[in-house]
Structure 1
Amino acid sequence: MSDCALETEGLTKAFGGFTAVRDVDLKVRRHAIHALIGPNGAGKTTFFNLLTKVHAPTRGRILYEGLDITAESSAAIARRGIVRSFQISATFPHMSVRDNVRVALQRRLGTQYRFWRSVRSLAVLDDEAMALLADVGLADYAEANAADLSYGRKRTLEIATTLALDPPLLLLDEPTQGMAIDDVDRIKRLIRRIAVGRTILMVEHNMSVVADLCDTITVLQRGEILAQGSYAEVSADPAVKSAYLGGGHA
């Protein structure tokens, strides 16, 4: 078996006369933390959208665990265990922190969240929900409404809800965007912990996060791969310094 969890071959997306992603050949090793970086407009979000089938590729292939999943629907991709978190927090703001996690747990079990059922009927999920909240440092906030959490803890809750689905491949889109230093450190520790036995591909602008966490870094510029390797390798690349690291981008 290949050591790649995810691979793209010649992946391309054109919108009319504009090509947002062009001939991207990417290999993400199983159980690695792989970063996708680049200046604004480099094609990172479009690439994520191709992986999760928000967009259909113009050409190229997507392979997951050696299987061609290019033509599969977004629902089929999710059922395979490819789960994405977004730049904008996607929790239920007026539900408790614990209930947010229970919704995700029910999705994993293939059941629906039935709002007309007694709360007691959902108690079977409480132990697992509380264990997950404890693992991400949110157990003390279990009864709080998600809307009342700080920004950093809302992002932590979003990661917790994705973890409730027990995904083997987790796509993190700007997990530390807009966070204070303390929250960034908390999220870094969380990502390092949840990466055990799991593959993570993340888009991230904070280079200290990338340097601390990531095994491999792919640099995109204008939709194409500019460089790839360890942080030491890509940060020393003159083209990367010019296009990204030395260009003043956050």
Structure 2
Amino acid sequence: MTSTPILSTAGLRKEFRGFVAVNGVDLSVREGSIHALIGPNGAGKTTVFNLLTQFLKPTSGRVVYRGRDITAMAPADVARLGLVRSFQISAVFPKLTALANVRVALQRRAGFATQFWRSSGVLAALDDRARALLDDVGLSAHAETDAADLSYGRKRALEIATTLALEPDLLLLDEPMAGMAHEDIGRVSELIRTVAVGRTVLMVEHNLSVVADLCDQVTVLARGEVLAEGSYDEVSRDPRVREAYMGSEHA
């Protein structure tokens, strides 16, 4: 982890017909870190994610990635720069095998995602890399399993594999533990720790035990504004944070 920010925002603001969802957010994500964005429901976390990846355009403010202002860029162009996100709802193709799902992502990276007339030999050339990515996320034994037949935790692992196929420098994970059974949480938490080696992770997460265990830096949002920032220990001791978000769990 370095002190150099890979991603930062300045005065980020988003209004929806007079409602201010995000208000003057200044965020700095250090390269090589695992950084959590937490806060109560309605705090603006997912809206911030959408602004960072240009799925939404800010009302004002700017987003800088590796020193480059990306505020006006299209989402696909942002992803090509190496800033790639996952979503709260697993986004895999249920009727394709795990291997085929990863291969589709690799096709996109190779520039022929929609060129289905490519020969099977050309597509098969991607299999070794696809299998290596499945191995990275602990799914080697499930390469030929349809995604629909995977457990929820393994579906999320598959989604991470397809995201890694796009070779991100900065991986944005939107509530990766949402809806998981306890045994899956530990597995996916270790997976995130593994894939974070050599890259940066920014994650929205409600599970505070996961945040405490994984994250180097935590930013707390409340009502669309930054309430506190620091290590988990630092923000968990902040009385404003305890009142706004952690009070029921840390009373």
User: Could you tell me the TM-score, scaled by structure 1's length?
Assistant: 0.96
8 A Cα contact 1:11 1:25, kept in partner = yes
Pairs within 5 Å for 1:53-202? 53-202=54-203
Structure 2, unmatched stretches of 5+, are none
Query: Which AA in structure 1 matches 2:145?
Result: A
CA distance in 1, matches of 2:118, 2:66: 39
- 1:103 CA displacement: 0.7
CA distance in 2, matches of 1:113, 1:234: 46
CA distance in 2, matches of 1:191, 1:110: 27
Moved over 2 A (4+): 112-121
CA distance in 2, matches of 1:199, 1:74: 19
Query: Which AA in structure 2 matches 1:223?
Result: G
Q: Tell me, what secondary structure is at the counterpart of 1:26?
A: strand
Deviations 1:197-241 (A, max 9, x none): 101100000001100000000000000000000000000000100
- 1:113 CA displacement: 4.3
- More moved, 67-76 vs 35-44: 67-76
CA distance in 1, matches of 2:242, 2:103: 45
Is the aligned partner of 1:43 residue 2:49?
A: no
Q: Tell me, what secondary structure is at the counterpart of 2:125?
A: helix
User: Could you tell me the TM-score, scaled by structure 2's length?
Assistant: 0.96
CA distance in 2, matches of 1:187, 1:233: 25
Pairs within 5 Å for 1:210-229? 210-229=211-230
Matched residue, 1:15 = 16
CA distance in 1, matches of 2:13, 2:187: 35
Query: Which AA in structure 2 matches 1:26?
Result: L
8 A Cα contact 1:103 1:113, kept in partner = no
CA distance in 2, matches of 1:80, 1:117: 26
- 1:181 CA displacement: 1.1
CA distance in 1, matches of 2:154, 2:65: 31
8 A Cα contact 1:2 1:66, kept in partner = no
- 1:246 CA displacement: 1.0
- 1:2 CA displacement: 7.1
Q: Tell me, what secondary structure is at the counterpart of 1:31?
A: coil
Q: How many pairs were matched up?
A: 249
Q: Tell me, what secondary structure is at the counterpart of 1:92?
A: coil
CA distance in 1, matches of 2:194, 2:238: 30
Structure 1, unmatched stretches of 5+, are none
CA distance in 2, matches of 1:238, 1:102: 48
Q: Tell me, what secondary structure is at the counterpart of 2:126?
A: helix
- Identity within the alignment, %: 65
- 1:248 CA displacement: 5.6
When the two chains are superposed, the root-mean-square deviation of aligned CA atoms in Å is 1.5
CA distance in 2, matches of 1:117, 1:139: 26
8 A Cα contact 2:12 2:23, kept in partner = yes
Deviations 1:51-105 (A, max 9, x none): 1111110000100011111111111111111100000000011011000000111
8 A Cα contact 2:5 2:30, kept in partner = yes
Matched residue, 2:243 = 242
CA distance in 2, matches of 1:4, 1:171: 15
